[in-house]
A and B are shown apart, each in its own frame.
Chain A
């Protein structure tokens, strides 16, 4: 069976210009030779069932016109030399999806209270089915995401992919990097054990060493002059509500620009030289031989 027949028609790769079969396609061979035999009811029902996914998609597509966007995005051209380094951005996105998913489920068991946070984490790790696994995915996944986002940044930098016209995407990416670091910082306090407590104390104090506004920023982070009861809930709200929303929105903008502008070829592939020599200056160009353009 051809793989293409598995893909519903609206999402199938569009035919190249000049190679299409026309709107209706060729008539089935059996139609030309003999009239179709009457099918049994069961067979007709089976045919209908086979068409159902395509019908549903067509129904949605007729109302959203999404297939044009989807095929444009999925079948967009990529330059020669595209290699594994180009997957680092998708890998970062995947790490974010892992963090978002595991985070949602951790939030079902976690209590953002200074007196109960540690106990709720112990409960997740020791009592909840697969709790240690999901918590571990979230904990180690956060480091994976930070590492991947830096590798992705390095790829973009060393391949020169931040240059015109992609500067704005670089800027969005830097904001995403900062937001990711903020996620790592605010998430670190949540287990509320000795390590996370003192690491957050040190982190907030480093933040406070910024001149003039630093002291106020630390007060803002702590919700007061000392690390207190509302600090933890504040970090929790920033960690699970404020920043994830911003990250999702900015990832949308980031991906939109990637699809819109396309990716760059690796720097070791030089542009092909034109086969026709560049036009020489006409004889009557001027006394010094420069073309008057």
Chain B
């Protein structure tokens, strides 16, 4: 319709047949797009391609770490004989390499307890990262509890939440025994029933519908 109006040359009253604008040079019968329109579309398309060539790699570069899983890392933290079943021993090991002390983390390690219905040959390694917002919790021997200094989260001997704002039990580390040495591996989270799930950040619920509301991230390792 707009093309029709253009061809009429703005002459009111005259019929379009009498006062039709002369066809533009290069016009042929049945042409569907004017030269001007074709160039406009081509220029905008090229601009879009150029823009995408800048933006897409940059965005990909920035979000790539979300989809990248690092190498699985195991570190020996002491001979099996160092660990008992009725209390924890604090060990410090490297979780993230290449950033010095900032990459170290603390785990509380013990043998599995028969009284709690655990396999006595297994090793339990509880992370000190509070499940509320990630502050470092401390195992208080006298109380047999983990206590967080930031907002008052309290966990029982197994790391289950018994007070304060945390939303789930403390995280665990995969543990194994190699050549008489206890080795700690990737982190995993647990549900309130201590069932292993993929590692979640602090503050995120686990189990049930929460597995969908806080989906597992590709950057974490599958649970044992």
Residues of A that sit less than 8 Å from B by CB: 114-115, 192, 197-198, 201-202, 204-206, 208-209, 211-212, 214-216, 218-220, 222-230
Residue of B nearest to A242 (CB): B62
**Partner among A205, A216, A222, A229 whose Cβ is within 8 Å of the Cβ of B202:** A205
Q: Report the contact-size class of chain B (Cβ under 8 Å from the partner).
A: 20 to 34
Shortest Cβ distance from B205 into chain A, in angstroms?
Answer: 9
Annotate B148-192 by CB proximity to A: 1 below 8 A, 0 otherwise. Answer: 001000000000000000000000000000000000000000000
Task: Report which B residues bind A (CB closer than 8 A).
Answer: 62-63, 65-66, 68-70, 95-96, 98-100, 102-103, 133-135, 150, 199-204, 213-217, 219-220
Q: A211-B213, A211-B214 are in contact. Are A202 and B219 (CB under 8 A)?
A: no
**What is the CA–CA distance of A228 and B219 in the complex, to the nearest angstrom?**
13
Q: How many A-B residue pairs have CB under 8 A?
A: 85
In the bound complex, what is the Cα–Cα distance between A18 and B52 (angstroms)?
56
Q: In chain B, what residue has the closest Cβ to A228?
A: B96
Q: Which residue of A lies closest to B212 (CB)?
A: A212
A215 near B99 with CB under 8 A, answer no
**In the bound complex, do residue A214 and residue B217 qualify as a contact, i.e. CB atoms below 8 Å apart?**
no
Given contacts A202-B134, A215-B214, contact A225 B103 (CB under 8 A): no
Specify the chain B residue showing the minimal Cβ separation from A202: B133
Residues of A near B63 (CB, < 8 A) are: 220
14 pairs, A vs B, C-beta closer than 8 Å = A198-B135, A204-B201, A205-B201, A205-B202, A205-B203, A206-B133, A206-B203, A208-B201, A209-B203, A218-B201, A224-B65, A224-B219, A225-B217, A225-B220
**A219 x B99 contact (CB < 8 A):** no
Q: Which residues from chain A contact B99 at a C-beta distance below 8 Å?
A: 114-115, 228-229
Task: Say which residue of B98, B102, B200, B214 sits within 8 Å of A227 (CB atoms).
Answer: B102
In this complex, which of A212, A215, A220, A224 has the most chain B Cβ atoms within 10 angstroms of its Cβ?
A215
Q: Which residues of A contact B66 (CB under 8 A)?
A: 216, 219-220
Contact assessment for A215 and B65 in the assembled complex, using a CB-CB cutoff below 8 Å: no
Q: Are B62 and A220 in contact (CB under 8 A)?
A: yes
Residues of A within 8 A of B201 (CB): 204-205, 208-209, 215, 218
Contact A214 B98 (CB under 8 A): no
* Residue contact B134 to A201, C-beta cutoff 8 Å: yes
Bound Cα distance A220, B61 (Å): 11
State A284–B99 Cα separation when bound (angstroms): 89
With contacts A197-B102, A220-B66 known, is A227 near B213, CB below 8 A? no
Q: How far is the CA of A205 from the CA of B148 in the complex (A)?
A: 16
Contact call A208/B204, Cβ cutoff below 8 A: yes
